Amino acid sequence: MTETLVKMDKKYILNTYNKKHINFKNGKNSTLFDKNGNKYIDFTSGIGVCSVGHANTKLSKCIYNQLNKLTHTSNLYLIEPQVKLANQLSKLSGYDMATFFCNSGAEANEGAIKLARKYGKKKFDNKKYKIITLESSFHGRTITTLKATAQKQMHTKDFSPYPKGFTYNTKLDDIYNSIDNETIAVMIELIQGEGGVEAFDKKEIQKLARFLKEKNILLIVDEVQTGIYRTGEFLCSNLYEIEPDIITLAKGLGGGIPIGAIMTKHKDIFQIGDHGSTFGGNYISSKSGLKVLDILSKYQQNGKLKENIEYFEKQLYKIYKKYNNIFTNILGIGFMRGLRVKNDESLNKIIDNSFKNRVLILKAGKNTLRFLPPLVITKKEIRSGFKRLENAIEKI
**Using one digit for the tens of pLDDT, what is the confidence trace for 39-79?**
999 999 999 999 999 999 999 999 999 999 999 999 999 99
What is the rounded CA–CA span in Å between residue 289 and residue 62? 10
Q: Is the pLDDT of residue 3 over 90?
A: no
CA–CA separation, 335 and 361 (whole Å): 13
The answer to whether 330 touches 196, Cβ cutoff 8 Å, is: no
**In terms of Cα–Cα distance, which of 387, 383, 396, 374 is closest to 32?**
374
Q: Over range 118-147, report the average pLDDT.
A: 96
For residue 104, name the pLDDT band (cuts at 50, 70, 90).
very high
- Rounded mean pLDDT of the chain? 97
Residue 396, pLDDT above cutoff 90: no
Element (H, E) at 249: strand 246-249
Determine the topology of domain 60-301 in CATH: Aspartate Aminotransferase; domain 2 (3.40.640)
Which pLDDT score, from 0 to 100, does residue 43 have?
A: 98
CA-CA-CA-CA dihedral for 148, 121, 225, 12, to nearest 10: -60
Taking residues 306-310, what's their average pLDDT?
98
Give the pLDDT confidence score for residue 159 in this predicted structure: 94
CA distances from 6 to 33, 34, 37, 239, 357 (A): 18, 15, 19, 44, 21
**What's the CA gap between 46 and 356, in Å, rounded?**
18
The H or E element containing residue 208 is: helix 202-214
Quote the pLDDT of residue 55.
98
Q: How much is the pLDDT for 249?
A: 98
Q: For the ranges 1-5, 56-60, 91-95, 206-210, which has the lowest average pLDDT?
A: 1-5
Q: What's at 104, amino acid-wise? A: S
Looking at residue 247, its pLDDT comes to 98
In whole angstroms, give the CA distance from residue 64 to residue 67: 5
Could you give the angle at which helices 80-93 and 283-301 cross, rounded to 10 degrees? 30
Give me the count of residues in the chain: 396
Q: What is the pLDDT of residues 329-363, one digit of tens each?
A: 999 999 999 999 999 999 999 999 999 999 999 99
322, pLDDT greater than 70: yes
| CA end-to-end distance (rounded Å), the chain | 32
Give dist(CA 149, CA 155) in Å, integer: 9
Mean pLDDT over 156-181 rounds to 95
Q: 384-394: string of b/e by CB count within 10 Å (b at 16+)? A: bbbebbbebbe
Is residue 105 scored above 80 in pLDDT? yes
**H or E element that contains 148:** helix 143-148
| Backbone phi, psi, residue 94, to 5° | 85, 5
Quick one: average pLDDT of 88-96?
A: 98
pLDDT at 2 over 80: no
Q: Percent of the chain at pLDDT above 90?
A: 97
Distances (CA, A) of 116 to 121, 169, 201, 367: 9, 19, 25, 33
Residue 135 CB neighbours (<10 A)? 15
> If you average pLDDT over residues 139-163, what whole number do you get?
95
What is the spatial distance between Cα 253 and Cα 292, in angstroms, rounded to a whole number? 7
Whether residue 1 is predicted with pLDDT greater than 70 in this model: the reply is no
